[in-house]
Chains A and B, each alone.
Chain A
Amino acid sequence: MSLLSLEKVDKIFGGLSALKQVSLEVPERAIFGLIGPNGAGKTTLFNVITGVYSPDGGVIRFEGQSIGGQSPARIAHRGIARTFQNIRLFRAMTVEENVMVAGHHLHQASVLSAMLRTRAQIADEARLRKRAGELLEIMGLGQHAEDVAGSLPYGSQRRLEIARALMLQPKLLLLDEPAAGMNSQEAAELERQIRFLRDQMGLTIVLVEHNMAVVMSVCEAVHVVDHGETIAHGTPENVKKDPAVLAAYLGKSTEEVA
C-alpha cells in the first residue's frame, strides 16, 4: 500500500491554478523525487500535503486516511514531517532547543507540572534532551548543541532542520531542496544521510530538489511537474530522457538540438 497518495489534487490561488489534477503514489520506504522548473508548484504541493493550504479538489491520503484540509499540527502529529525551502529555524534558540521543540509525543508532563517543576517534568526534559542529542549526532551536529541556531553555517542549518523534523518520529519526511547551496562534498554526505534515514530508520522520503546529481543518485522514482501539472513519472533514468521533461527545463529548442 502506498504511504502517501494524491488523487487529482487541485490548488487555486486567486484564479490561478497552482496545482492541476496532480496524482501520485509514494510507496512505503521509497526515496521519491519531485522535480520541475522553478515555479512549477513543488513547494505548493508540499504545502498542500502538510496542511498549510487546503486542496481545492482531489484527495490526499496518508496511510489510507484522507488528510486534506487538516491543520499542519494535526498532520505533523500523524507522522508527516517537513523541511522548508527557505530554512525556517527558530533562530534565536539553541540548536538543541530547536530539535526539542518537536518532541511533543515524548513529553508527558502537564503544564501544571511544568510550573511546579515536578520530578516527572524534570525526567521529561532529560528524555527530550537525550533524544535530541541522538538526532543531532546522526546529522553531524553533536558538538553544536548549545550554539545559537542562527549562527550556524548554511549547510548546518539545513541539517538542523532535518534533525528537527526527525524529532517528530515521522513516517514520511518531506525535504524541500535539502541540497540547496551545498558543494559536491556536502551533497554526497547528504545522499548518505538520506539513505541512512531510509535504511536504518525506516522512513519514507520525498525530496524536492534542483540538484540533479543528488536526484539521480538517491531517488528510486521521480515525479516531474511543470505549471502545476504532472508531465512525467518514472525512474530517474527514464525521466532524464523524457522529451517533455527536457522541453520543460530547457525550452522547446532542445528538440531541434537533439
Chain B
Amino acid sequence: MSTLLQQLLNGLSLGSIYALIALGYTMVYGILKLINFAHGEVFMIGAYAGYFGASALGVERYGAAGLPLYLAVLVLLFAMAVAALLGVSIELLAYRPVRSAPRLTPLITAIGVSLFLQNAAMLLFSPNPRPYPPILREVRFELGGVIVTNVKLTIFVVAIALMLGLNWFIQRTWTGKAMRAVSTNIDAARLMGVDTDRIIRATFAVGSALAAAGGILFGLDQIIINPLMGVLTGLKAFVAAVLGGIGNIRGAVLGGLLIGLAEQLTSGYLSPDYRDAVTFVILIFILILRPEGLLGVVRPEKV
C-alpha cells in the first residue's frame, strides 16, 4: 500500500512539472493554433538559467544547507524572466514572419527553432549532463511508509502557487481576459481594439516563464540536467496538453497530472523500460478515440 502511495506521490509531483510545461503549449496553441515545438527547449533553458543563477549567487558556499529562501526565490524569478524573454524573442523572430503562411510552414519553423536551441545549448553548455546545485536543503521524512522530501513539497507548493496565479491572471486582469478573447476568436478580438500582437507576446512570455519554473523544479527533483532534456519532457508535456484538450488551460493541468501518474505507475508496476513509451501510447489512443481531448470541445467544420 505504501508503495502505491509512494508511486502516486511521485507521479503527482512529476505530473505537476508536466502541467507547468503543458500550460505553455496549450496557451500558445489556443491563440495561434501553432504547436510550439521549441517550448521544450525553453523549459531546458529555464533549468540552465536556474543553474547559472544559483552558481552566480554562490550556491556552492552554502553547501548542503541550500540557499536562503529569498535567494532561492530570486533564482526562480531570474530563470522565469530569462525564459520569458527567450519565448518572446522566438515569437518575434521566427513565428511572427510566417504567421500567415500555410500551416506546414510555421510547424517546420518551430521544429527548426527547437533543433537550433538544442544544438546551440550543446555547443554553449557542453553536451555533458550537469548535476543540479542543491538550491534547497534536502529534508526527508516519512509519512505512513511514504518518503516525502521537501523537494517534492516544493514542487507542489510552487506548481500550485503558479497555477493559481495564472488562473487569477486569466480571470481577473485585463491582459488575461484579452488572452481568452484572442484564443476564442482572434479577429473579433482585434475588432474590439485588442492589440493582438501584444497579447500574443504576453502569452509566450507567461507560458515560457511557467516552463522555466518547471525546469528548475525538474532539476531539483531529477538532479541531472542536460541540453537534450527538453526533447522528451517537452514531448510528454505536449501529449499532456493534448490529453487534456489542447487550448484548454484546465485540461493542461489535468493532462499533466495524468501523464505523470501514468508514467510513474507504469515504471513502478510494469517496467522502467516502458515509462517513455506509455506517453506515446496514450497520445495515439487519445488522438484516435477523442482528438479534442478530455476537456476539449468538438468543433464541426462548416461546409
Contact = CB atoms under 8 A, between A and B. Distances in A.
Q: Are A and B direct contacts in the complex by CB distance below 8 Å?
A: yes
Interface of A: 13, 43, 47, 52, 84
A47 B300 contact: no
Contacts of A13: 300
The main secondary structure of chain B at its interface with chain A is loop
A52 B303 contact: yes
Nearest to A47: B303
B220 to A, nearest CB: 46
A84 B303 CA distance: 8
Interface in B262-303: 300, 303
A43 B303 CA distance: 9
A13 B301 CA distance: 12
Interface of B: 300, 303
5 contacts: A13-B300, A43-B303, A47-B303, A52-B303, A84-B303
A47 B300 CA distance: 13
Contacts of B303: 43, 47, 52, 84
A13 B300 CA distance: 9
Q: Which 5 A-B pairs have the closest CB atoms?
A: A52-B303, A47-B303, A13-B300, A84-B303, A43-B303
Contacts of A43: 303
A52 B303 CA distance: 8
A70 B303 CA distance: 17
Contacts of B300: 13
A43 B302 CA distance: 10
Nearest to A44: B303
A85 to B, nearest CB: 9
A18 to B, nearest CB: 11
B299 to A, nearest CB: 11
Contacts of A84: 303
A32 B303 CA distance: 22
A34 to B, nearest CB: 16
A12 to B, nearest CB: 12
A84 B300 CA distance: 17
Nearest to A53: B303
Nearest to B301: A52
Nearest to A88: B303
B105 to A, nearest CB: 16
B298 to A, nearest CB: 9
A52 B300 CA distance: 11
B162 to A, nearest CB: 35
A53 to B, nearest CB: 8
B93 to A, nearest CB: 30
A30 to B, nearest CB: 25
Nearest to A72: B303
A50 B243 CA distance: 34
B10 to A, nearest CB: 41
B258 to A, nearest CB: 27
Nearest to B300: A13
A195 to B, nearest CB: 28
Nearest to A85: B303
A44 to B, nearest CB: 9
A146 B122 CA distance: 52
B301 to A, nearest CB: 10
B296 to A, nearest CB: 15
A161 to B, nearest CB: 14
A13 B302 CA distance: 12
B101 to A, nearest CB: 15
A47 B303 CA distance: 8
Nearest to A13: B300
A174 B123 CA distance: 63
A52 B301 CA distance: 10
Contacts of A47: 303
